A and B are shown apart, each in its own frame.
Chain A
Amino acid sequence: MTPALRLEGVTKRFGDVVAVDDVTLDLFEGEFLALLGASGCGKSTTLRLFAGLEAATEGHVLLGGRDVSRDSASSRNVALMFQSYALYPHMSVYQNIAMPLRMRGLSVPQRFPGARMVSRPTRTALHEIDDKVRRVATMLRLDTLLSRRPGQLSGGQQQRVALARALVREPSAFFLDEPLSNLDTQLKADTRDEIRALHARTGYPFLLVTHDQADALSMADRVAVMIAGRIAQIGVPEEVFQRPQSRAVAEFIGLHRMNILDRGHASRLHQAGATLDLGVRPDDLIIGAEGPIAATVESLLYKGEETVVLLRDPDGFALRSILRGGQPRPAPGDQVRLSADISALHPFDRHGNRAELPS
């Protein structure tokens, strides 16, 4: 299957800085791909390379199998929703949404204010634009706000305008740059659902760029983890979370940082720990009366649905464990024992790559 968009061996350098390092990435027709990484890892540059806002130093960008590396952003016909929304503040909501259609559908003289009076083709074209704008505005519940300026709207409304402006034409792909990072928790959850529904309804290939793993894991069909300019791992969310292919990905993915016991030290958990580093997610590190590791409770972070327990073993290693809802909580200073199921261990070799536990 030919991907809708493909980066092929793309490198982007800014002076001496390598922002994107030999990346090959496919965006397939109809899929929802998330590009996940910490800030400064090159994910935004990757998006800009896809969109045509940056030119690759090396490598190719393919659109439906055709090399578009040298083509302009608008000829690639991608839609992009910006983190800051980037709405035109001097235009009404209607004009903002109509902008991409006007720029590509009308010639320069047709864009002049009085053009509709003198030319019939202009009237027809404007009529079509009007139809499309109103349809997408209705879909995103903006129909009552069309004459407002962006400055008069709430953050959530502005975001819907940005979505509408991106969706109003039939794009070859739809890119979202950190779409949820400016929203509060409640609105975030609603918008997540809305974007998912939008993807299901339109069927365009979606590329979501985010630093928030919860967004990536919950919304995307596939997640690409980017670390230091490279794609460290790509796969379905469950695979990326449950079988991180490297120590770097393991430490990056997970709401709470994975505990990693260095080799030697790790042999208390499993005999393979003599030669391998062993990772255990805080969720999988069980506090109890029995267990191979002794530790002292240092402090507790109460977070409503869960409590993070910070522990220290006799060798001075800091460890984290999570307690859910009603589980009994130890007090700071308590001596506890820690254990983990073998299936919950993530072994890594000396190069940081995933290894297999000998059975």
Chain B
Amino acid sequence: MIRRLATDLLLAGPAALAVVLFIFLPVAVVFVLAFTDYLVGAPTADWVGLENFEELFGSRLGRNALINTLIYSAVVIPSSVILGLLVALGLHGITKRMPRVSAVLRTVYFLPVAATLVAMAVAWQMLMHPSLGLLNHWIAALGLTPQQWLTDRGLVLYSLAAIGIWQGVGYNMVLFLAGLSAIQPTLYDAATIDGAEHGWSRFWCVTWPMLGPTTLFVVIVTAANAFRVFETVATMTDGGPAFASDTIVYALYREGFVYFKAGYASAITVVFFAALLLLTALQIALVERKVHYR
């Protein structure tokens, strides 16, 4: 009994200690700091109550970052989920007839996930360059007006969103492919016998409902990634022009690591943390009920 206990402690103890020291403790510190005006390196800090939160939600700049993040997510989440699903359906469909082609395409779609986004951002910067970029060359060749992809205040957020989608599709595709291959083939047989013989009705009768759990997971993961958008902003636009692509995590980085306003940055972290927690809680609540069909 004692030996069992000692073994259990030995196995689980170190990891648990590390989690407490390096995750729970810092989170607790951040929660406390969020209510102070602490500056990195300052000897003291004053309790300011909800002032930091007021600044985030009340100031033009804070609200701008929040709204930009929401717009970005509103574009990226549905697009990359739907595109990921379409690509997965297509690849799953051709796997039997053309296994080679399907394998190659899978790799191609997955490359953006495996590649370092910072390095890819440089490549995108070149593609989107106003005068040298390929993108504007093609647009000009088609007879359309070249765009200032990363310096137009109305466009920059959508340019970043496009890169976000490009990056998310591959990952979502892999998840959807796994979901598709887990569907019992006899369900399709049953649907055929019952009269759902064509693509669309089979999709609604079998594929879509059977993908429910996968879809929910994909949406949650995509949402978490979209809310966290940072690399492309930091490497390509620095939140500009004129804060047009300032997002919540980039603002957090700027306030905390450029201006050293640890208190304010902590407040942003708390809000961000709460949002992700809410999302996860929603997932658990939904997963338990709706999509597992128990």
Interface residue from B189, B197, B201, B209 paired with A86 (Cβ < 8 Å) = B189
**Is B187 among interface residues, defined by CB-CB distance under 8 A?**
yes
- Residues 126 to 143 of chain A near chain B (Cβ within 8 Å): none
Are the CB atoms of A88 and B206 closer together than 8 Å? yes
Specify which of B186, B193, B206 is in contact with A100 (CB 8 Å cutoff): B193
Chain B residue contacts of A52, Cβ below 8 A: 192
Cβ-defined contact, B193 with A90, below 8 A: no
Interface contact B206-A51, CB-CB below 8 Å: no
The answer to whether B189 and A74 have CB atoms under 8 Å apart is no
- Compute the total of residue contacts between A and B using a CB distance below 8 Å: 64
| Contacting residues, chain A, for B196 (C-beta < 8 A) | 103
Q: 3 smallest A-B Cβ distances: which pairs?
A: A103-B195, A86-B190, A90-B209
Interface pair A99/B194, CB less than 8 Å apart: yes
- Distance in angstroms from B205 CB to nearest chain A CB is 7
Question: What are 25 pairs between A and B in contact, CB < 8 Å?
Answer: A51-B193, A53-B192, A73-B192, A73-B193, A73-B197, A74-B194, A78-B193, A80-B189, A82-B189, A82-B190, A84-B184, A86-B187, A87-B190, A88-B187, A88-B206, A89-B209, A90-B212, A90-B293, A99-B194, A99-B205, A100-B195, A103-B195, A103-B196, A103-B201, A103-B205
Binding site for B on A (CB under 8 A): 48, 51-53, 72-74, 78-80, 82-84, 86-90, 99-100, 103-104, 108, 149-152, 165
Q: A82-B186, A82-B189, A103-B201 are in contact. Are A89 and B293 (CB under 8 A)?
A: yes
B interface bracket (residues with beta carbon within 8 Å of A): 10 to 19
Contact of A88 among B195, B201, B205, B294 (CB under 8 A): B205
> 18 extra interchain contacts, Cβ-Cβ under 8 A, other than A53-B193, A86-B184, A103-B196?
A48-B189, A52-B192, A53-B192, A72-B197, A73-B197, A74-B197, A82-B186, A83-B186, A86-B186, A86-B187, A88-B187, A90-B293, A99-B205, A103-B201, A108-B201, A151-B293, A151-B294, A152-B294
Rounded to whole angstroms, the CA-CA distance of A107 and B196 in the bound complex is 12
Question: Contacts A90-B293, A149-B293; is A79 near B193 (CB within 8 Å)?
Answer: yes
Name the interface residues of B187-245: CB closer than 8 Å to any CB of A: 187, 189-190, 192-197, 201, 205-206, 209-210, 212
